[in-house]
Amino acid sequence: MIISPARRLQQVEEYYFSRKLQQIRKMNEAGEDVINLGIGSPDLPPSPKTIEVLNETAQQSDAHGYQPYRGMVSLRQSMAEWSERTFSVELNPEQEVLPLMGSKEGITHISMAFLNPGDEVLVPSLGYPAYTAVTRMVEARVQPYPLQEGTWQPDFTALENIDTGPVKLLWCNYPHMPTGAPAQYEVFEKLVTFARERNILICHDNPYALVLNKNQPISILSVPGAKEVAIELHSLSKSHNMAGWRIGWIAGAADYLNEIIKIKSNVDSGMFKAVQQAATEALQNSSVWHQQRNQEYQERQKITFELAETLHCEFDPQQQGMFVWARIPDNEESAEALSERILQQHQVFITPGHIFGNQGNRYLRFSLCISQERLQEAVHRIASSV
């Protein structure tokens, strides 16, 4: 290579699943039939009306030009209405909602908008790898904060002891990925108080609120005064089976969103109109539609619990979201070694927890985004040789 890459790439590796999926593809091409319980990509379709609106809009002659950088008015209005129905949080659709091409994109926009080289970011010791990767890409520094093992809520004693002078942002995510720990209003209150005292912006990532959640969904913005120190990411990927559509949004105070749009408007040229119209429709999905999706995930979860038990793993049966998080037996070397052995011996891939942070070294994460039949097959393959 003649031209050397940017220094930032010395701090960033190719996304774990990008590399692992290449390995799985090669195994499948060799005829090994790998059952992939790794990535959380919903295999169920969006609602029929959502697809219908997509098709209808795509047929319109005026649907193919550039769209507004801040998204269509109707889309922002539907996002605000969904927030009020779901969380009882009122948002001004003109100023407090910013549509995104997926919330993963938003992690980059937020980081570029608020971080300078050398700034620090509080990242949970178990969490979405993009929080760490993007922080490093913008040449800021990651400051991990621990979660309490078992409850997987922030360890506030440890947080209080961290020197937060250089800290600008704090990432959190409830219902939590990968552990399935639920959102707790009292925890959000403590986080908001912490952020106000330390002059930190909380970035709450909230894509799993409607997935296997037996409780009332919670937004951090429901805490009084939260908009002064918090913004929240939402996504249609998991809750509406639209991961490949790339639709999400940021909710928060106008002052914060006005800074983020300076980055976003220089990166993309707006979202396809048909996708925006379909997303507007999807946000009207009935409670019955969501219940049916959750019923299917619940059945899959039961089989996955059986799979975890077959591997002699321990887990919390009350966990939420579209994954199962389970602790491996003490006699296993590591989750990474166990995951690779299962892949090679049984052609079943289960994500090792270390990719989400050091506290995940003894855990596996099973995805529920695969049919009941394939999950049963995974149980059969592993049980037959245990």
User: H/E/C letters for each residue in 113-128?
Assistant: HHCCCCCEEEEECCCC
Percent of the chain exceeding pLDDT 90 equals 91
Low-confidence ranges of the chain (pLDDT < 70): 1, 12-15, 386
- Residue type at 255 in one-letter notation: D
The pLDDT of residue 386 is: 60
Non-local CB neighbours of 157 within 8 Å, separated by 6+ positions: none
CA distance 281 to 278: 5
Query: To 5 degrees, how large is the angle CA 109–CA 113–CA 118?
Result: 110
Task: Give the sheet arrangement for strand 323-327, strand by strand.
Answer: 35-37, 348-352, 363-367, 323-327, 314-315
pLDDT the model gives residue 99:
98
Structure tokens at 327: 């602790």
Where do we find the tokens 């938003």?
106
pLDDT (0 to 100) of residue 214: 86
With CA atoms as reference, report the closest residue to 177 among 361, 336, 304, 356: 356
pLDDT 10s digits, 314-349: 999 999 999 999 999 999 999 999 999 999 999 999
- The packing angle between helices 273-282 and 48-58, to 10°, is 160
pLDDT in the model for residue 14: 64
Task: Classify strands 201-205 and 141-145 as parallel, antiparallel or unpaired.
Answer: unpaired
* CA separation for the pair 74, 282 (Å, rounded): 12
Residue with tokens 């942002």: 169
Domains of the chain: 7-45+287-383 (3.90.1150.10), 48-282 (3.40.640.10)
CB 191 within 8 A of CB 226: no
Rounded CA-CA distance 144/139 in Å is: 16
pLDDT of residue 384: 82
Residue whose token pair is 């393959």: 381
Matching residue, tokens 């619990």: 305
What is the predicted pLDDT for the residue at 323?
97
Output the CA angle 95-101-103, nearest 5 degrees.
Answer: 80
What are the residues whose beta carbons fall under 8 Å from the beta carbon of 286, sequence distance 6 or more? none
Structure tokens at 281: 């429709």
| Residue 303 pLDDT | 98
Tokens 């605000």 label which residue?
80
